[in-house]
Amino acid sequence: MSDGRALARVYLEQQRLLGTDAVTLPPAGLAASPLPDLAPPASRPPAVKTTDLPPAGLAYDPPARDLFSADPLQQVTTLRGVAELVAPCTRCRLCEARTHTVPGEGAEDARLVCVGEGPGRTEDQTGRPFVGQAGELLTKILAAIGLAREQVYICNVVKCRPPQNRTPLYDEIAACVPYLFRQIEILAPRVILAMGNTAAQTLLDTKQSLGALRGKVHRFRGIPLIVTYHPAALLRNPNWKKPTWDDVRIAHCLLDG
Ligand code: URA
Ligand code: SF4
């Protein structure tokens, strides 16, 4: 197929999946991403040359696992083990109103980890992350880069639902974040997608706004981290779908690179 037709197909598919009516042209120098499909990455051409990637951003390097620590969280070596520690957790006040903890779910060998803020109502009822409306949109966003939900790992900064879906408070995040850090350590993904302010600011240890953090390749313990809008924010403001598409394409490029 000619390049032009391939590009057109990519854009039409993008519009179909993301529900936008605008066509998103790749930033100068960025090649079109391959069509969404489930082909193994090795069979796809790299979507972008490393030199075309956005500039480097922040790097956050919290201390990693201490082999001699007596902390049970440091001793577990599986995602299931982390979830078993989360289930009875009372480290912060969010335990009081929860129905279920929502530790996260996905592939043990996920190359991409998607991090949101905290469980909403449906997540609290089911114990699963991103299963409400925002979750449906996340599933579509992942499909747009050829990834099935089951191929990635999806989790949140806090594992219990904040009352009325309020933003988690600083002390709640501080209490819960060791679980997330340990999950990332166990998964050792190739790329992290931080969705929304809470995930971005927590994983980069910064107060910078989402707007300032987008469009750069940050690092969390050396792992490339891309910041984008939270799917729930996209439901409220569809104008952010286009920039989100740009962000996930960068994440996709890093996955294949
Ligand atoms: N929003 C989040 O941040 N996480 C979920 O799991 C669902 C909605
Ligand atoms: Fe524990 Fe995190 Fe739930 Fe707070 S939000 S009770 S720290 S699992």
Cβ-count burial 181-203 (b if 16+ within 10 Å, e if not): bbbbebbebbbbbbbbbbbbbbb
Report DSSP letters for 128-156, one per residue: -SS-SHHHHHHHHHHHHTT--GGGSEEEE
- Kindly identify the ligand whose nearest atom is closest to the C-alpha of 178: 2
H helices of the chain, where? Answer: 3-18, 72-75, 79-86, 121-126, 133-144, 170-187, 197-204, 210-213, 231-236, 241-256
State the pairing for strand pair 217-220/191-195. unpaired
Ligand 1 pocket, 123 CB below 6 A?
yes
* Main-chain phi, psi angles of 189, to 5 degrees: -75, 170
Q: What band does 170 get if pLDDT is binned at 50, 70 and 90?
A: very high
Q: What is the pLDDT of residues 228-246, one digit of tens each?
A: 999 999 999 999 999 999 9
Q: What is the pLDDT of residues 60-92, one digit of tens each?
A: 999 887 777 899 999 999 999 999 999 999 999
pLDDT at 24 over 90: no
| pTM, entire model | 0.85
**Residue in 71, 82, 85, 95 to alter for ligand 2 test, most ligand atoms within 8 A of Cβ:** 95
Q: Give the Å distance between the CA of 130 and the centre of ligand 1.
A: 5
- Residues 107/152, Cβ–Cβ less than 8 Å: yes
Rounded to whole angstroms, how far apart are CA atoms 14 and 24? Answer: 9
> For the chain, how far is it from start to end, CA to CA, in angstroms?
23
pLDDT at 121 over 80: yes
- Kindly identify the ligand whose nearest atom is closest to the C-alpha of 162: 2
- Residues 135/232, Cβ–Cβ less than 8 Å: no
- 239 by Cβ neighbours in 10 Å (0-12 / 13-18 / 19+) ranks as exposed
Q: What 3-state class would DSSP assign to 173?
A: helix
Rounded to whole angstroms, how far apart are CA atoms 70 and 238? Answer: 47
* Smallest CA separation from ligand 2 atom 2, residue: 176
Q: What band does 27 get if pLDDT is binned at 50, 70 and 90?
A: very low
Q: Give the Å distance between the CA of 37 and the centre of ligand 2.
A: 37
Ligand 1 pocket, 138 CB below 6 A?
no
- Residues 55/216, Cβ–Cβ less than 8 Å: yes
Q: What is the largest CA-CA distance in the chain?
A: 59
Q: What is the pLDDT of residues 188-219, one digit of tens each?
A: 999 999 999 999 999 999 999 999 999 999 99
- Residues 62/205, Cβ–Cβ less than 8 Å: yes
